[in-house]
Amino acid sequence: MRVRQRTLPAVSLPHHEPGFLHQKQTLLHNVFMKSPLLEANKIPGVHYALTTDGIELPIVDVTHPALALTVIDTEQRALVEKFLQEKAPFPGLPTFLRYSLQRFFLRGSILVNGIRQAQGTFMTGMHTYLLKLGPTMLGSAYAKPIDRRIAASLPVFAVRLRMQDVAQLMAEALLPALVKEFRRCRPSIPSQGPEIALAREEPA
């Protein structure tokens, strides 16, 4: 059996755009040649995945001690009180000089970049995900010390706490239905088997 070979039509680059070829070459280099930013300090029990940009990030698991939050009411009140008493940086300097210093210290911050892009609109999903990692889980390959300070702030802590609460509520709502379905599909398993197996997966 002979297979007929097909030839693709030639594609000519637009000559009126001198930088077009260079842009395409740069794009191909970034896609196929750029080395991924891998996490050098992986934590046992935490799973990691590569983004489309080639950044290796931890997968949020609120049951893992490195990502789980435990805070009591008195600690929450103390955090709120401390946040309300915090002053703006460089309070005694003129406005133009204060802004210049802020831009200098915030330069290169991936979280600040995401917050600035969200002005007047919403933050991207990836920047929001980075906020939910917390200060200790941000990788040194892409995050700077200022990013960890932002991730440790009260507003970001509240975002992480809300995510954990939502995961807990979803688990409590889904667990009975999952146990029922498990029993229906595996009727020969002892009555406590599904509860034990599924409880191990239930976020704490």
Could you tell me the pTM of the whole model? 0.66
Total Cβ atoms within 10 A of residue 157: 19
| Tokens standing for residue 131 | 């906020």
| Residue 112, in any domain of the structure | yes
| Residue 168, in any domain of the structure | yes
| Residue 171, in any domain of the structure | yes
Residue pair 147/111 in contact (Cβ under 8 Å)? The answer is yes
pLDDT score for 17:
46
pLDDT score for 193:
44
| Residue 65, in any domain of the structure | yes
| Residue 66, in any domain of the structure | yes
| Residue 27, in any domain of the structure | no
| Residue 5, in any domain of the structure | no
- For residue 48, the cross-strand partners are 58
Find the domain containing 78 and state its range: 48-199
pLDDT score for 41:
87
pLDDT under 50: residue ranges of the chain: 1-18, 20, 23-24, 27-29, 32-33, 191-194, 196-197, 203-204
Cα within 13 Å of Cα(112), Cβ side: 16
pLDDT score for 44:
93
Cα 165 to the center of its chain, rounded Å: 17
| Residue 158, in any domain of the structure | yes
User: Count of domains in the chain?
Assistant: 1
